[in-house]
């Protein structure tokens, strides 16, 4: 456990696109520039806002707000339907730019990436690289594109630095300005500290990031977080790397808010079938198999119903996933407004275990592989069940937040 | 909500093919009703693979409306697929 601040030269850079999807729309459609823009998943007033432009944010619009409420705050707010293909293109451009600077580059989500320069011997000044990345983004994607760049001794401080001056900022946090920088922030400005953790910290008299920095590691571990997480925070705040790890995939799922309240049971089952196909495709794209299926439904009167089933043998095909979900869904209540499914107990699809039904499984494996190959080549859902022939009109491809696995 | 129109209209396009990161640049297009539009800015160009074909999507503007032009690199055809003029 190190008590001193990490005094090494900051060599971690965090690059974050500003209001990414809204900025990309403003780049693609020049007439949107300068106007409050909200990216939404459906063209209705009841939909939630996925991303708001800086002009909209300045008028009080927040991500997750209903479009209708946001339009009251920001008169003239322009709703633009999300276009995942476009965002994926910009993500790949950003990834290509970041990869030019270090072999240790990790995309944290569709709009942010981290470059670690520790492995490089011949280093240029970090701020010079930061400004160069900003310029390359403008040259290679478009002049309206802006990004925040943060530099720190670890990922946490680099990300914190990237959030200091939005939009289009470039900041560095090092051992000399660490205290001064933390003094300007609130606890909830720190990535990983939301209301719940803030309440825990407040409970032991920690009300500011500086008090958090000065707190005793034993208090953080034994009283506040009650786990090793406390020690990690102690190190993280001092600039030591504790976040350089990848997390295992625990589950894969999708949910869908029904497009109307008057759908028949059969129509709801078709939409569930569509979700199963989507989940199956994602599962196989990660070379995983599952042993459990969990489904849920939310009703119009805000009741939550769920059911799950574990199987002895792993599965991966759309037909098996839907077969299990269909059996579970018979118990679901009426008046449903949202459905969801996820597969859990995931493991690698190494196909090594011998089975009495080996020939049957091999045939299924070949069939599924053939279908996936066609869908990869000719586009998602080129081949799918006849049961879901119409559902693609309603259930659209979603923007993958948080994870870059499916990009 | 704003005023957007989605279509699949075959158009004639004058474009230059040069060098750089965006070698293909549509300059002017003529719609099926005869109206000609001069492109003042290309906002974004991104590819979209559809089977063996690659379509190149050009989001452009003439200063009065935003348009999306799609260039089919196999059939060598241009289509206008979007028009939005809702921001005034």
Same domain, A353 and A373: yes
SS3 state at A70: helix
Burial of A34: CB neighbours in 10 Å, binned 0-12, 13-18, 19+? exposed
Nearest to A78 among B2, B50, B52 (CB): B2
Task: Note whether B49 contacts A: Cβ–Cβ < 8 A.
Answer: yes
How many domains would you assign to chain A?
A: 3
When comparing pLDDT for A250 and A392, which is higher?
A: A250
B33–chain A nearest CA distance, Å: 23
Under an 8 A CB cutoff, do B47 and A89 touch?
Answer: yes
Dihedrals φ, ψ of A329, to 5°?
-70, -15
Asked whether residue A293 is domain-assigned, the answer is: yes
Same domain, A222 and A165: yes
Same domain, A93 and A186: yes
Same domain, A333 and A288: yes
Dihedrals φ, ψ of A8, to 5°?
-70, 165
A71–chain B nearest CA distance, Å: 10
User: Looking at beta carbons, which residues of chain A come within 8 Å of B52?
Assistant: 377
Using the predicted structure, report yes or no on whether residue A211 has a pLDDT greater than 90.
yes
- Cα distances from A165 to residues A61, A161, A207, A260, in angstroms, run 19, 8, 23, 42
Task: Note whether A29 contacts B: Cβ–Cβ < 8 A.
Answer: yes
- pLDDT per position as a tens digit, A125-165: 999 999 999 999 999 999 999 999 999 999 999 999 999 99
Nearest to B51 among A32, A43, A377 (CB): A377
Q: Minimal Cα distance from B56: which residue of A?
A: A86
- Last residue of one domain, picked from the residues A68, A84, A100: A84
Asked whether residue A244 is domain-assigned, the answer is: no
A243–chain B nearest CA distance, Å: 34
pLDDT given at position A400? 61
Helix (H) or strand (E) holding A357: none
**CB contact at 8 A, A2 and A231:** no
Task: Note whether B81 contacts A: Cβ–Cβ < 8 A.
Answer: no
DSSP state of A221: I
Asked whether residue A404 is domain-assigned, the answer is: no
Dihedrals φ, ψ of A197, to 5°?
-70, -35
The ipTM (two decimal places) reads 0.92
**Least confident window among A177-186, A237-246, A337-346:** A237-246
Query: What is the separation, in whole angstroms, between the first and last Cα of chain B?
Result: 13
Q: How many CB pairs under 8 A join A and B?
A: 60
- Cα distances from A119 to residues A102, A116, A133, in angstroms, run 8, 7, 19
Q: Which domain holds residue A77?
A: 20-84
**CB contact at 8 A, A341 and A328:** no
Asked whether residue A100 is domain-assigned, the answer is: yes
User: For tokens 């078709």, what's the residue?
Assistant: A270
B51–chain A nearest CA distance, Å: 4
Asked whether residue A339 is domain-assigned, the answer is: yes
Nearest to A29 among B50, B59, B63 (CB): B59
Same domain, A199 and A107: yes
Q: Minimal Cα distance from B88: which residue of A?
A: A31
The pTM of the whole model exceeds 0.90: no
User: Looking at beta carbons, which residues of chain A come within 8 Å of B56?
Assistant: none
Q: Identify the sign of the CA torsion B30, B31, B37, B40.
A: negative
Asked whether residue A132 is domain-assigned, the answer is: yes
Same domain, A280 and A373: yes
Rounded to whole angstroms, the Cα distance separating A23 from A2 reads 41
B38–chain A nearest CA distance, Å: 15
Using the predicted structure, report yes or no on whether residue A349 has a pLDDT greater than 90.
no
Rounded to whole angstroms, the Cα distance separating B82 from B69 reads 8
Domain positions in chain B: 4-17+25-84
Helix (H) or strand (E) holding A235: helix A228-237
Token couple for A347: 């493991």
Q: What pLDDT band is residue A356 in, cutting at 50, 70 and 90?
A: low
- pLDDT per position as a tens digit, A271-328: 999 999 999 998 998 888 999 999 999 998 889 999 999 998 888 899 999 999 999 9
Q: What pLDDT band is residue A371 in, cutting at 50, 70 and 90?
A: very high
pLDDT given at position A401? 59
pLDDT given at position B55? 93
Asked if the peptide bond before residue A167 counts as cis, ω within 30 degrees of 0, the response is yes
- Mention every residue, 6+ apart, whose C-beta is less than 8 A from residue A239: A5, A6, A8, A152, A153, A154, A157, A173, A174, A175, A178
Under an 8 A CB cutoff, do A378 and B50 touch?
Answer: yes
Same domain, A287 and A220: no
Burial of A318: CB neighbours in 10 Å, binned 0-12, 13-18, 19+? buried
The rounded percent of chain A whose pLDDT value lies above 70 is 95
pLDDT given at position A16? 93
Helix (H) or strand (E) holding B50: strand B41-50
Same domain, A170 and A157: yes
Nearest to A43 among B1, B21, B57 (CB): B1
Task: Note whether A38 contacts B: Cβ–Cβ < 8 A.
Answer: no
Domain CATH for A259: 3.30.1490.100
Domain CATH for A46: 3.40.1170.60
Using the predicted structure, report yes or no on whether residue A94 has a pLDDT greater than 70.
yes
Using the predicted structure, report yes or no on whether residue A97 has a pLDDT greater than 60.
yes
Domain CATH for A111: 3.30.70.270
- pLDDT per position as a tens digit, B41-60: 999 999 988 777 899 999 99
Helix (H) or strand (E) holding A292: strand A288-299
Same domain, A109 and A230: yes
**Least confident window among A249-253, A337-341, B23-27:** A249-253
**CB contact at 8 A, A175 and A163:** no
**Least confident window among A186-190, A264-268, A368-372, B17-21:** B17-21
Asked whether residue A345 is domain-assigned, the answer is: yes
Phi-psi label, residue A157: left if phi above 0, alpha if psi -120 to 50, beta otherwise: alpha
**CB contact at 8 A, B16 and B25:** yes
Asked whether residue A406 is domain-assigned, the answer is: no
Same domain, A196 and A263: no
Task: Note whether B34 contacts A: Cβ–Cβ < 8 A.
Answer: no
Rounded to whole angstroms, the Cα distance separating A283 from A324 reads 16
Task: Note whether A407 contacts B: Cβ–Cβ < 8 A.
Answer: no
User: Looking at beta carbons, which residues of chain A come within 8 Å of B86?
Assistant: 78
pLDDT given at position A355? 62
Under an 8 A CB cutoff, do B84 and A29 touch?
Answer: yes
**CB contact at 8 A, B38 and B62:** yes
Q: What pLDDT band is residue B1 in, cutting at 50, 70 and 90?
A: low
Same domain, A91 and A230: yes
User: Looking at beta carbons, which residues of chain A come within 8 Å of B49?
Assistant: 379
pLDDT given at position B67? 96
Nearest to B46 among A30, A35, A86 (CB): A86
pLDDT given at position A352? 55
pLDDT given at position A73? 92
Burial of A113: CB neighbours in 10 Å, binned 0-12, 13-18, 19+? buried
Same domain, A289 and A257: yes
Under an 8 A CB cutoff, do A29 and B66 touch?
Answer: yes
pLDDT given at position A132? 96
Using the predicted structure, report yes or no on whether residue A337 has a pLDDT greater than 80.
yes
């Amino acid at each position: 456990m190190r008590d001193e601040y990490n005094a090494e030269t900051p060599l971690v850079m965090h690059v974050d696109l500003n209001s990414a999807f809204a900025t990309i729309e403003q780049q693609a459609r020049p007439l949107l520039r300068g106007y409050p823009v909200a990216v939404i998943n459906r063209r209705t007033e009841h939909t939630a806002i996925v991303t708001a432009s800086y002009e909209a944010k300045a008028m009080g619009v927040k991500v997750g707000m209903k479009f209708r409420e946001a339009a009251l705050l920001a008169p003239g707010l322009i709703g633009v339907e999300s276009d995942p293909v476009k965002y994926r293109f910009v993500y790949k451009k950003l990834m290509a730019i970041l990869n030019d600077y270090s072999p240790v580059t990790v995309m944290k989500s569709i709009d942010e990436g981290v470059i670690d320069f520790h492995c490089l011997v011949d280093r240029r000044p970090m701020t010079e690289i930061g400004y160069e990345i900003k310029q390359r983004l403008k040259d290679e994607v478009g002049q309206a594109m802006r990004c925040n760049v943060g530099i720190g001794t670890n990922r946490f401080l680099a990300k914190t630095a990237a959030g200091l001056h939005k939009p289009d900022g470039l900041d560095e946090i090092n051992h000399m300005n660490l205290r001064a920088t933390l003094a300007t922030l609130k606890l909830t400005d720190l990535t990983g500290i939301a209301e719940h953790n803030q309440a825990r910290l407040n409970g032991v008299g920690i009300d500011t990031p500086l008090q958090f920095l000065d707190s005793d590691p034993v208090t953080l571990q034994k009283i506040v977080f009650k786990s090793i997480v406390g020690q990690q925070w102690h190190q993280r705040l001092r600039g030591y790397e504790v976040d350089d790890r990848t997390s295992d995939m625990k589950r894969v799922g999708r949910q869908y808010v029904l497009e109307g309240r008057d759908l028949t049971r059969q129509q709801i089952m078709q939409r569930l079938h569509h979700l199963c196909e989507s989940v199956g495709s994602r599962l196989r794209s990660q070379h995983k198999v599952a042993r459990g299926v969990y489904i849920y439904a939310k009703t119009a009167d805000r009741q939550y119903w769920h059911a799950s089933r574990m199987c002895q043998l792993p599965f991966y095909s759309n037909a098996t996933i839907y077969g299990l979900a269909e059996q579970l869904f018979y118990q679901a209540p009426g008046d449903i407004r949202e459905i969801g499914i996820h597969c859990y107990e995931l493991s690698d699809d190494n196909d090594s275990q011998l089975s009495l039904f080996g020939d049957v499984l091999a045939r299924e494996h070949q069939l599924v592989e053939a279908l996936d190959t066609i869908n990869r080549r000719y586009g998602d859902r080129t081949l799918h069940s006849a049961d879901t022939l119409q559902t693609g009109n309603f259930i659209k491809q979603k923007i993958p937040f948080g994870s870059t696995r499916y990009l | 909500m704003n005023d957007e129109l989605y279509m699949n209209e075959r158009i004639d396009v004058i474009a230059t093919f040069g060098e750089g990161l965006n070698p293909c640049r549509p300059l002017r297009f003529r719609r099926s009703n005869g109206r000609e539009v001069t492109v003042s800015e290309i906002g974004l160009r991104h590819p979209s693979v559809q089977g063996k074909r690659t379509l190149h999507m050009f989001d452009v503007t003439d200063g009065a409306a935003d348009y999306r032009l799609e260039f089919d690199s196999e059939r060598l055809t241009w289509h206008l697929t979007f028009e939005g003029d809702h921001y005034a």
